[in-house]
Structure 1
Amino acid sequence: MSRPRDPRRRSIPTATPTLRRFGPLRDRHSRPYLMTAGLSMMGDNIEHVITYWVLWEVFASPWLVGFQVISHWLPFLLFSVLFGGLAEKYDCRRIIQIAQGLFAVVSLSWGLLFLTGTLEMWSACVLLVLHGCAGALWGPAEQLMLHDFAEPAELPSAVRLNATFKSLGVLAGPVVGSLLLLLLGPTWGILANIVFYLPMTLLMLRTPFTGHSRSGFVRRERVSILDTPRVLRTVGSDKVLVGMIALAGLIAVCVGASLQVAMPNFAQVLGAGDEGGLGYGALLFANGIGGVVGGFLLEATGILKVDVRGAVIAAVMFGLTSLIVATTTSYPIALIALVIGGVAYLAATAIGQALVQLRAPEDQRGRVVGVYSMIGSGMRTGNGITIGWLGALLGVSGAVAVGGLARVVGALLIGVLIALQTRRGAPA
């Protein structure tokens, strides 16, 4: 199962380093990695902006709108563990290049269909699914690369900054996408979007790390889609791992991880639906900027430790802010709550991701990261069903309020259960 240690590992220091604020940004290898990850995530969101607009203009199909959400997250649910196994077995640089290439091919295909006027419903559905598969394939390999770039003590910082730069990409994507749509039109705008996938693709040609350089472990067994039950049984004895995976699922299922879909409702309730859409745009921006500012703020202050308590506190704060947004009639209070909620969401997910990676068995790290992605991202497939069902019963604001309350109660319950297991002498 293990191979001889790679000679390049000699260049990786083994002494315990002094913990540095923004340490990964000081490193000449990880700094471009974080920045190119942000650019790729921006390209991902630019594609959403342009293609979703065109699809509505051409088909005006509510069914297709629902399929857009499902096709994006369902590959995470079905294939994350499989793709994690691939990341354990093969060079993560090549997997990342394949994923970025698939993103680019999808953008190219959209552009050709727009250019020739041959876009049909079936071809749109195929491209939406392929785009979702590219994101799911990228995830585990991208996370494993962080283990090579960062010393173990700085891994939480690397995970947090990686999430921050990707949040910056999510925030900038709609702005850049709208500009491309306005200046170049949908056809040339989506073709120009290919450029944003190139930096990470090219970076993988020159980085010396493979995702396995520090550990020296490479999986030899056959990769199977049936690995998921086996991995779940393996990690079941570690209650912290199980708790963080459950917390990620709680955040994904309860209305909140996809809070943007409820923003038009909040804008109307808060009296900000007019004025050229500025009030609505500010609500969206407040939620997005919270994740970016929060990432840098948490890195600079270290106010939340990378432990179960930190993850639970962040998840509770995220639930409370969602509850406030759903129940307040004050526009300024809603804006403040959305910013704080963005900070809390990033903190909860980054701490959970870091704990999972630190505690995962070395020989199953890719698949354990895949399980976390399967639950934390894949379960968002049902987010639309949750908000649709509860929204029909209680209204959109009521559905978000119930989701926020459920996150608060669920996060506290997970924290209590982990604490009880720790007190009884279980691994923690």
Structure 2
Amino acid sequence: MVSSTPTLLRHHRPFLAFWLARVCTASAFQMLTVAIGWHLYQLTSSVLDLGLAGLVEFTPRVLFMLHTGHVADRYDRRRIAALCQALQGLVALTLVVCSLSDSVSRNLIFLMAFCLGAARAFEMPTTQALLPNIVPAGLFPRAVAASASAMQMATIVAPAAGGFLYAFGSTWVYGPSVVLYVLAMGLVSTLPAREAASTVGKATLQSLLAGIHFIRSRPDILGAISLDLFAVLLGGATALLPVFARDILLTGPWGLGMLRSAPAVGALVTSFWLARFPIERKVGRTMFAGVAVFGVATIAFGLSTSFWFSLLVLAVLGASDMISMVIRGAFVQLETPDEMRGRVSAVNGLFIGASNQLGEFESGFTAHWFGTVTAVVLGGVGTLVVCGAWIKLFPSLAQRDRMHR
């Protein structure tokens, strides 16, 4: 019988600590994102500043891409993760102090956004590379799904909690965020150390580029990572949800909130299912099927004029994305040697970040030229075209039977 998520947590205490740390950091970040965005808009009343804040936060991921993976492979990953969480907690604490003294400014928020982005740029590949060190390979696919559930739970609950607490004042959001980051630091510090010391030497151009070279030398990994990049780049419709909520589905802010939560609800339910019943065979076909359903759901959402049907297809969209994400995340980590996982995760993280950021730009650009509905439908069609093309370009990935060969 397949072990369930509770069994995974019960028999692997390090993973329980890892999972709880993910819940804490993801919740704190979601709350900070809501508070910072609202605080900035209160100060400047500029939509452009909201976009610039997101760009500033994303910039460190590009600037430090090669170094983040090298650091994750060379040094103690527990300490790196704890330091990253400490920096994010310091950002929240700075905002607490400045809010109490009424000295929060536009430039301070941009500076804090950059620091937050820098910490997350190092934290993401470190935590991804840390997970295979604390979970046996046989349970790893289930661990990836259970870990993803922590992110989805935070995505559903934390933004609403942050918005509710902000009604009492910004410090009511920044303060709890500090506490959550401190809890995460304590949990990460209890994780076991790596069994063997890293063999990565000092940073050189060759070692920094090793992650890129490794991905290029593994067609399955390259295919999976690039498939996610282009599928999300073309199929992402979240940036246009406010337009659908107000002008097409004729709902208010409450409707927009439900539309934003729907993909996370579908993803959360699917992550629990995959943790209970992991995909062990025909993983290539299943991953491509998930991407194809993602494209079809995007088209259905673009054509929908029913609020409740839109919620349903968005939930399906989130569920299908979770299937492909869990498969991709599991086999990429299992196929990558431990001494390379940090650098490969750094490249993967850049692809994910780029697809999300550029996907929002692509959606806005095509909506400006062709109209909102047409833009979303074209994005879904583009996802299906990419899916078919990648099956031809990466046949070994499409025919892949198991996570780890």
Tell me the TM-score normalized by structure 2: 0.91
The structure 2 residue matched to 1:289, chosen from 262, 265, 288, is: 265
Maintained 8 Å contact 1:253/1:380? yes
1:74 to 1:397, Cα distance in 2 relative to 1, 3 A: farther
The structure 1 residue matched to 2:337, chosen from 361, 377, 385, is: 361
Specify the alignment match of 1:3 in structure 2.
Answer: none
Specify the alignment match of 1:110 in structure 2.
Answer: 95
Specify the alignment match of 2:238 in structure 1.
Answer: 260
* CA–CA distance in structure 1, aligned partners of residues 350 and 3 of structure 2: 31
1:360 to 1:310, Cα distance in 2 relative to 1, 3 A: same
Tell me the TM-score normalized by structure 1: 0.86
1:226 to 1:385, Cα distance in 2 relative to 1, 3 A: farther
1:96 to 1:59, Cα distance in 2 relative to 1, 3 A: same
The structural deviation recorded for 1:73 is 2.7
| Aligned amino acid, residue 243 of structure 2 | N
SS in 1 for 2:227: helix
The structure 2 residue matched to 1:341, chosen from 317, 323, 327, is: 317
The structural deviation recorded for 1:85 is 1.3
Specify the alignment match of 2:152 in structure 1.
Answer: 167
The structural deviation recorded for 1:418 is 1.6
* CA–CA distance in structure 1, aligned partners of residues 205 and 378 of structure 2: 35
Specify the alignment match of 2:231 in structure 1.
Answer: 251
| Cα-Cα RMSD | 2.3
* CA–CA distance in structure 2, aligned partners of residues 171 and 397 of structure 1: 26
Maintained 8 Å contact 2:145/2:326? yes
The structural deviation recorded for 1:354 is 1.2
Maintained 8 Å contact 2:200/2:339? no
The structure 1 residue matched to 2:38, chosen from 42, 45, 53, is: 53
The structural deviation recorded for 1:71 is 2.4
SS in 1 for 2:89: helix
The structure 1 residue matched to 2:365, chosen from 389, 406, 428, is: 389
Maintained 8 Å contact 2:28/2:180? yes
The structural deviation recorded for 1:159 is 1.3
SS in 2 for 1:335: helix
Maintained 8 Å contact 1:29/1:149? yes
| Aligned amino acid, residue 140 of structure 1 | P
The structural deviation recorded for 1:357 is 0.7
Q: Which moved more, 1:153-162 or 1:224-233?
A: 224-233
The structural deviation recorded for 1:202 is 0.5
CA deviation vs aligned residue, 1:394-423 (integer Å, no higher than 9, x gap): 223322222222122112221232216888
The structural deviation recorded for 1:278 is 3.0
* CA–CA distance in structure 1, aligned partners of residues 280 and 306 of structure 2: 29
The structure 1 residue matched to 2:4, chosen from 2, 21, 35, is: 21
* CA–CA distance in structure 1, aligned partners of residues 369 and 355 of structure 2: 22
1:331 to 1:204, Cα distance in 2 relative to 1, 3 A: closer
Maintained 8 Å contact 1:298/1:304? no
Maintained 8 Å contact 2:220/2:396? no
* CA–CA distance in structure 2, aligned partners of residues 422 and 378 of structure 1: 24
Maintained 8 Å contact 2:235/2:383? no
For structure 1, list consecutive stretches of 5 or more residues without a partner in the other structure. 1-17
Specify the alignment match of 1:4 in structure 2.
Answer: none
Q: Which runs of structure 2 are paired with 1:383-422 in the superposition (5 Å)?
A: 383-419=359-395
